[in-house]
Amino acid sequence: MSPTEPRPADLRAARDLESHVSWLDSFTGTALGVLAVASGIYTYLGVSSLLDDSGAMSAFAAIAYSVAVSVGIFVFWSYMLRLFPAMRSARARAGLMGAMGLGSLAIVAMSSWLNAAALAGSAAVEQHLANTVQDYQQTLERAHEIAVSAQALEQDVARVRQSFEDLSAQEAEGGLSGLAGRGSVYSLLRQKATELAALEAQIAAQAPQVAAAFDEGNAILSRMRALTVEPGPVETRSVEFSEQAVRLAGIVTELRQLSVAPLVQRAAQDLAASAVLPELDGRTAANRGDQLATIEAVLEVVAQRAATLEAAADAVIAIPPPPETRYTPVSAADAVILYASSFVPSWAGAIAIDLLPGVLVLILAITQGAIRASREGAGTADTLTLAELRAALAALREVEIASDRLPQHSEPPHAPGEEAPRVTPVPRRG
DSSP string, 68-129: HHHHHHHHHHHHHHHHGGG--SHHHHHHHHHHHHHHHHHHIIIIIHHHHHHHHHHHHHHHHH
* pLDDT tens for each residue of 154-201: 888 888 778 777 777 766 665 555 455 555 666 777 777 788 888 888
Phi, psi (degrees; rounded to nearest 5) at 341: -65, -20
What whole-number distance in Å separates Cα of residue 52 and Cα of residue 199?
55
Q: Compute the distance between CA of residue 53 and CA of residue 363 in angstroms, rounded to an integer.
A: 44
Give the whole-angstrom CA distance, residue 115 versus residue 44.
8
pLDDT for position 283: 54
pLDDT of 430 reads: 41
Distance between CA atoms of residues 244 and 237, nearest Å: 11
> Which pLDDT belongs to residue 217?
92
- Residue 71 has what pLDDT? 93
Write down the pTM of the prediction: 0.66
Sign, CA torsion 13/18/24/26? negative
Q: Please tell me whether residue 430 adopts helix, strand or coil conformation.
A: coil
CB-CB contact of 259 with 142 (8 Å): no
Residue 210, number of CB atoms within 10 A of its CB: 20
Please report the pLDDT score of residue 2 as a whole number: 46
- DSSP state, 408? P
- CA–CA dist 83, 366 (Å, integer): 13
Give pLDDT, residue 429: 46
Phi-psi region of 286 (alpha: psi -120 to 50; beta: other; left: phi over 0): alpha
Q: Rounded CA gap, 297 and 307, in Å? A: 15
How big is the CA angle at 26 (ends 25 and 31), to the nearest 5 degrees? Answer: 80
Residue type for position 272: A
Closest CA to 177 of 330, 39, 283: 283
* Backbone angles phi and psi of 206, in degrees to 5: -85, -10
* Regions of the chain where pLDDT drops below 70: 1-14, 52-54, 170-186, 272-299, 374-386, 388, 406-430
CB 153 within 8 A of CB 264: yes
Q: What is the pLDDT of residue 274?
A: 58
